[in-house]
């Protein structure tokens, strides 16, 4: 990993679950998206500044998810984000969702930096690249 893990606590609400109180499989993707958003914010890059200052945003290019155990209503989850690789316009991330020290979900996600107006790949802005580190 290139940097320390970022972790976001997320409480499971009724809206996140089925009638049996088990989290929907797609809801984990929402939790991971929220953690990535907050990770960028912690680095000093919110969506507004990425668009207004750098004319860019990130889009998910691919993801691979492994569901290991279910989360249930009222669980307090910890959703982590760790950078594993940085390319010219791409960032590879590893994310986990953990509850009570038990891994529930893990995912490998590729995001690509694109122009906000063109949606075409572009180089990751230098200030952000400096924050997340470079691959040796």
Report, as residue numbers or ranges, the catalytic residues. 18
E strand segments, the chain: 6-11, 56-67, 76-86, 90-99, 102-115
Is 86 in a helix, a strand, or coil?
Answer: strand
Query: Rounded to an integer, what distance in angstroms lies between the CA atom of residue 63 and that of residue 94?
Result: 10
């Amino acid at each position: 990993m290139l940097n320390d893990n970022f972790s976001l606590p997320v409480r499971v609400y009724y809206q996140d679950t089925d009638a049996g109180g088990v989290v929907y499989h797609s809801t984990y993707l929402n939790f991971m998206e929220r953690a990535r958003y907050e990770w960028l914010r912690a680095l000093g890059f919110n969506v507004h500044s990425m668009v207004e200052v750098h004319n860019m945003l990130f889009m998910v290019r691919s993801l691979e998810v492994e569901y290991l155990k279910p989360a249930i209503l009222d669980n307090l989850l910890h959703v982590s984000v760790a950078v594993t690789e940085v390319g010219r316009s791409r960032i590879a991330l590893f994310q986990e969702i953990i509850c009570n020290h038990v891994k529930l979900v893990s995912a490998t996600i590729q995001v690509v930096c694109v122009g906000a107006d063109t949606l075409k790949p572009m180089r990751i802005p230098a200030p952000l690249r400096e924050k997340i580190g470079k691959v040796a």
